[in-house]
Amino acid sequence: MTDSVLTSEYTGLGGPDAAGLDDLLGSALSQGVPEDVLRGVTPWKKAMKLVFAGLVLSLIGIDIYNIDLAVNIAGNILCILGFRRLRRENWSFMVCSVLSSLAAAVNISRLVINCMGRRLELVRLVYDRLAGGVLMALMIATLVFFLAALKLVEKKSGIPLGMGFAKNVLIWYVVIRAMMFWYGYRQAQGVLPGHMFVFCVFLSAAIALCLHALYRLAKELEDPGYAIKASDPKVPDIAVIAALVAISVALFAGSFATRNYPDSWKEYTPDANASAITEELSKAPVLKFADPDNSGAQTPRKSGDTLEFEPADPVPAELLSMLTADELKHLQGSSRIYLIADQYSEERTYSVYAFVNGDEVWQLISFAWKNAPKASGSEAIAVTTTDKEDAFSGRMFCSIDGRPSVSEYYIPAGGRANYTAQDHSKSGQEGSTGHSGSTGSSDRTNSSGRSDRTGNSNTPSEIININEMLNIHYGGAGVDLAGFTIPRGAEDLRGYVLQKRVLEKDKLYSGLLMSYTHRTTDFMFPMHTAAEGYVSGTDQFSLAKRPFETDHFGTMAAYWYLPDLP
Amino acid sequence: MTERELVQLIREKNALGAQEFLRRYGALVRYVAEPILEDAGACEDCLQEVAHRVWDRIGSFDEERGSFKAWLTTITRNLALNMKRSAKPAESYEALDTELPSDSPGPEETAVKNAAAAALRAAVDSLPKNERILIYRRFFYNQSLAQIAAETGLSERAAEGRIYRIKAKLAEMLKEYRDDR
């Protein structure tokens, strides 16, 4: 369409040029305004629609296909667009506008940290935790100032509205949030058990009631809302949306580039020096706990149970063949070998052997995938260590295009620093029930190695702060994190960890031995490496499959009930 | 108080109805009148005039044909336009040349213009909602581009461009209507 259309002369109906058409439109529309147009022409309603849509999206704390952060950012954008229209109306709306912008900035900064990937993954956990707290505070402040802004509009209009219900609901929302925060903190410390599902239900109800109450107030202010002077948008909505979406998408895409650990897979050549020791150890007798009542229990259930052992199959040569010659030398000449646990999850098998060799006990934890993993990418193993010097060793194996390959573990930045010394005599005693030999994907906070944490005396001072902050989040460290990346098309994936345990008071103690965190989907948002997935928790209330699942494989009780060593 | 209850009070000539009307719909009347009159004092006069007219002519309001708010909006808009027209200074009598024929349209021209207006109204009704709202904002509410931009989140330039394109579309529709005839 060009000017020629508007300025062309028409015959018959007169010929509305540009000005003529304007006049004709003025008279053509003078008969009245249709209802839908009437509803659409108001400075108040569209702003309120944007604000409420934004608040709903910002308040969604549950994951929908792991896109909670994207949903929250969308909510922030809508809130910004809504509140900025009203910012000149009163100071409370202005504050809401600023708070929404801050919330968007915090969420986008989380995406920026995501882009740093594995280099900052433990920092990210701390930051995420802090950001979560800040966002919660911003949201509460936004709701409070929003209510205050509505109150000012009500005052200006002179039409009294019942605001008591909205105030009460808002107070309850804050109370529930505070309780969740406290409960989460205590739960992370291992003091309180269980999940927060009940809180989530109450919180959802409080959110729904809160929004309903505010929405009702906003609706009642529709007529007085005509007195609102919409602020001139210096930057049009579409530009704000485009900029924030572009930034978010770019950062989201950037996170994909750094979400895997460095790939160190190389072709595997067996160590010729190891074969003789492998053969010797694979013939040595192995004991395991007897199961006379055929209960399936691999360990005694409670103190005082009669300990009975029975012969088990020798340590498989395939398992031993994964070890290096140096590692095998630690095991060579072991006086006794115990099969401590032999467990299965849906996708993986695990086994734990204890090699008693003089004053030393070496535990060999191995895992193997039953089938090719469905998702490639970062995986992580968390191994409990007994003191700073007591590092573990281990490797991963797989077959890539039919070629046997091997990879060292990647210790994430701060992975070793994640260590916090434990007093094992205490942790063993207090946490020795319930999880022995179990393999499962939940209830990590009950695991013994986490719940009883004492003594940081062996921990280097420069890492204590990080640890303390992380402890708030996931309830204790005392673990080393080892990561690796599963290549695409990998088959026959397996690996092991060899670790020396300490002996004390003629008994052997151990905490949680190992957790295996697996990436379940290629679609991860926000980006987490497996190590992050492990420490940030995978048991949040979620509508979708989480990007990570963790098998917790604890055998502490099994060690606890080992007979006294000679 | 619901809209229906308020209308009933006005129908009963209850003073409470007039009071409530001013409190409840004062903002709407000012919102509609202000872009046309562009003067706060004139807007207050308009509000008083609208209140009188609603009080006097509430009998002509038919709930079946639309909401009270729509009726009130139309009254306000047309009254504000009349006030604006009447506020214009009259041309001096001496300046008029009595020998020249009158500028006011004749019956045939009026009929053609009315037909064109009806066709244009039908064309506007056939537009998508967002486009209709923009056209009404500009040509019914007489809102400035700045006000439209502020309330819709568009830039002034974008609002102007969009209205221009809608007008071009309407002109095309009008042309088709003429050709069909």
Report the residue of A1, A8, A157 to disrupt the B interface, i.e. the one with the largest count of B CBs within 10 Å.
A1
In this prediction, residue A80 has a pLDDT band, given cuts at 50, 70 and 90, of: very high
* pLDDT over 50 at A407, yes or no: yes
Alpha-carbon distances of A225 from A46, A454, B126, rounded to whole Å: 11, 60, 29
Of A8, A14, A36, the CB nearest to B116: A14
CA A77 to chain centre: 24
Partner residue facing B153 (CB), from A6, A12, A236 = A236
pLDDT (tens digit per residue) in A464-494: 233 333 332 233 335 677 888 888 888 899 9
Reduced to 3 states, what is the DSSP secondary structure of residue A491?
strand
Interface touch B28/A32, C-beta < 8 Å: no
Round to whole Å and give the CA distance between A358 and A138: 59
How confident is the prediction for chain A on average, in pLDDT?
72
Most confident of A194-203, A208-217, A293-302, A437-446: A208-217
Spacing of C-alpha A385 from chain mean position? 23
Please indicate, yes or no, whether the overall pTM of this predicted structure exceeds 0.80: no
Q: Under a CB-based contact definition with an 8 Å cutoff, are residues A424 and A510 in contact?
A: yes
Tokens of A467: 């640890």
Please give the backbone phi and psi of residue A518, each rounded to the nearest 5 degrees, phi first.
-115, 140
Whole-number Å distance between alpha carbons of A378 and A396: 13
The predicted-structure confidence for A142-171, as pLDDT tens digits, reads as follows 988 998 998 888 888 777 777 777 777 778
Chain A residues in contact with B112 (beta carbon < 8 A):
12-14
Please state the φ and ψ torsions of residue A546, each to the nearest 5 degrees: -75, 155
Half-sphere exposure of B23 (CA within 13 A, CB side): 16
The residue in chain B having the minimum alpha-carbon distance to the alpha carbon of residue A18 is B167
Could you tell me which of B174, B121, B61 has the C-alpha nearest to residue A31? B121
Reported as a pLDDT band with limits 50, 70 and 90, residue B93 is: low
Cβ–Cβ gap A2/B168 under 8 Å:
yes
- Whether A223 sits inside 8 A of B73 (CB atoms) is no
Which residue of A43, A159, A236 is in closest CB contact with B24? A159
Residues of B in contact with A42 (CB under 8 A): 31, 151
Q: A237 with A81: CB under 8 angstroms?
A: yes
CB A252 within 8 A of CB B166: no
Test the A interface: residue of B30, B155, B160 with most A CBs within 10 Å: B155
**Higher pLDDT residue, B142 or A410?**
B142
3-state secondary structure B92-109: CHHHCCCCCCCCCCCHHH
ipTM of the complex: 0.86
DSSP one-letter code for A232: P
**Do A49 and A82 contact (CB within 8 A), yes or no?**
yes
Domains and CATH numbers, chain B: 3-87 (1.10.1740.10), 109-180 (1.10.10.10)
- pLDDT, residue A18, reads 61
